């Protein structure tokens, strides 16, 4: 296993971004309204987070609910990507499905084109998609660099067997990043048993990212390196 591992922390407020940095996170996914599973943050929030000096991936999701978008919503997402790029983000987090649960390739293609030059993550819309192994190939072909997924399970720990299968199928063509229910106790197990090299968690306490939990995960995934 390659021990050059990355922790991405999901942050829904600027206090949490500071906490993620304090704890040693390598990157943040910035959003708002985690109670709605995350929505696109404001321009001011993005600009402030970028100014804190950590690589920022911005969630591009215009509303709660499903991932089937109409033309107005697609245009909105394209504009949000354009603004995020101007504000200096490291990357964007996108995803779209058709009503039958398949990947909406045309919408994703438009979003990827708008995000050219940025790091592109396909988000957990994947976890409710149909035919996930076929979907993985589509996501790779569309030019995404990373897939955030729990392995279509309630948590990444429960999804370990399928996550391992996704990592094997991806074969280095895209990074598979486990997320959902990640904590200091299971982070290393998830990475070591799936072969993934990145992991994602909110690591919150009292509604905000907890720097001690972040620090504990960083230690958990780095400390065992000498055992390799």
pTM (two decimals): 0.94
22-49 pLDDT per residue, tens: 999 999 999 999 999 999 999 999 999 9
The pair of three-digit structure tokens given for residue 209, joined into one six-digit string: 């990212």
- Enumerate the domain spans of the chain: 6-227
Per DSSP, the three-state class of 27 is strand
CA distance 123 to 223: 28
Spatial strand order in the sheet of 119-122? 175-178, 146-149, 119-122, 91-94, 56-59, 27-30, 6-11, 198-201
What is the average pLDDT value for the chain, to the nearest integer? 95
Answer CATH for 6-227 from 3.20.20.380, 1.10.3720.10, 3.40.50.1820, 3.30.300.30: 3.20.20.380
166-225 pLDDT per residue, tens: 999 999 999 999 999 999 999 999 999 999 999 999 999 999 999 999 999 999 998 654
- Write the DSSP string, 135-201: HHHHHHHTT-SEEEE-SSSSSTTTTHHHHHHHHHHHTTSSEEEEBSS--TTTHHHHHHHH--SEEEE
């Amino acid at each position: 296993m390659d021990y050059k591992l990355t922790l991405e922390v999901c942050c829904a407020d600027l206090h949490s971004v500071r906490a993620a940095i304090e704890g040693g996170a390598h990157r943040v996914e910035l959003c708002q309204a985690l109670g709605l599973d995350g929505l696109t943050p404001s321009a001011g929030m993005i600009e402030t987070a970028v100014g804190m000096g950590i690589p920022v991936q911005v969630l591009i999701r215009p509303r709660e609910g499903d991932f089937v978008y109409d033309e107005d919503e697609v245009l909105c997402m394209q504009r949000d990507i354009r603004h995020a790029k101007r504000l200096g983000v490291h990357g964007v987090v996108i995803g779209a499905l058709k009503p039958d649960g398949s990947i909406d390739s045309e919408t994703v293609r438009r979003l990827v084109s708008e995000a050219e030059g940025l790091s592109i993550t396909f988000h957990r819309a994947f976890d409710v998609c149909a035919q996930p192994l076929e979907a993985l190939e589509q996501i790779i072909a569309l030019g995404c660099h990373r897939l955030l997924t729990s392995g279509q399970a309630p948590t990444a720990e429960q999804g370990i067997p399928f996550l391992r299968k996704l990592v094997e199928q991806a074969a280095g063509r895209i990074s598979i990043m486990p997320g959902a229910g990640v904590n200091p106790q299971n982070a290393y197990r998830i990475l070591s048993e799936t072969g993934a090299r990145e992991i994602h968690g909110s690591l919150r306490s009292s509604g905000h990212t907890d720097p001690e939990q972040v620090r504990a995960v960083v230690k958990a995934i780095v400390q065992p390196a000498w055992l390799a």
